[in-house]
């Protein structure tokens, strides 16, 4: 199996659409477990003002036959830094692309966005109910408190 980005110097994709997400076989497809990716410094651009937006993303998924290759995921997420989209669009687009690639048993994403115009916009989505018997820890991101 050859993974284009793995073990090679790789240029940052110019957009999320150009980014190549790779997957690898899950060595434990018969085991119910959670894999978590945390991106505490995710950035994108406001599609109206062009100003940067910042988020703390937490992606939890229960693999089926496939795992996402982590370097490819990092490059994909970094490709949003010059991409103009609303918080909701970024968060849901990432989740749907992972679901399409991996066909996981379960996936949830928490997009904890820093305030824009004085108001944080947090976005949450999941594919359905959590599988029975699965330990799914809290995402561990505190709600935004500001100075209030």
| Per-residue pLDDT tens digits for 22-65 | 999 999 999 999 999 999 999 999 999 999 999 999 999 999 99
List the structure tokens of 12.
């940052």
Which CATH number among 2.60.40.10, 3.55.10.10, 3.30.1130.10, 3.30.360.10 corresponds to the domain 32-126? 3.30.1130.10
At 139 the pLDDT is 95
- Whether residue 118 is predicted with pLDDT greater than 80 in this model: the reply is yes
Closest Cα partner for 91 from 59, 69, 117?
59
At 143 the pLDDT is 79
Q: Choosing from 17, 22, 30, 46, which is the catalytic residue?
A: 46
Mean of all residue pLDDT scores within the chain: 93
The answer to whether residue 46 is catalytic is yes
**Residues 120-147: what's their mean pLDDT?**
90
Pairing status of strand 35-45 against strand 66-68: unpaired
Q: Choosing from 22, 30, 53, 60, which is the catalytic residue?
A: 53
- Whether residue 3 is predicted with pLDDT greater than 70 in this model: the reply is no
The domain spans of the chain are: 32-126
At 2 the pLDDT is 55
Three-class DSSP category at 62: strand
**Residues 6-12: what's their mean pLDDT?**
79
- CA 28/CA 40 separation, integer angstroms: 28
List the structure tokens of 9.
């110097």
């Amino acid at each position: 199996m050859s993974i284009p980005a793995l073990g090679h110097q790789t240029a940052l994709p110019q957009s999320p659409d150009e980014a190549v997400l790779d997957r690898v076989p899950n060595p434990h497809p018969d085991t119910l477990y959670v894999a978590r990716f945390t991106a505490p410094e995710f950035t994108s651009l406001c599609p109206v003002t062009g100003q940067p937006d910042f988020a703390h993303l937490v992606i939890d998924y229960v693999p089926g036959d496939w795992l996402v290759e982590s370097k490819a995921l990092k490059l994909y997420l970094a490709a949003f830094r010059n991409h103009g989209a609303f918080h909701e669009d970024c968060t849901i687009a990432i989740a749907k692309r992972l679901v399409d690639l991996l066909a996981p048993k379960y996936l949830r994403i928490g997009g904890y966005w820093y305030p824009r115009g004085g108001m944080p916009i947090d976005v949450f989505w999941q594919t359905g109910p959590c599988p029975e018997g699965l330990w799914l820890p809290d995402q561990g991101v505190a709600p935004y408190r500001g100075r209030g």
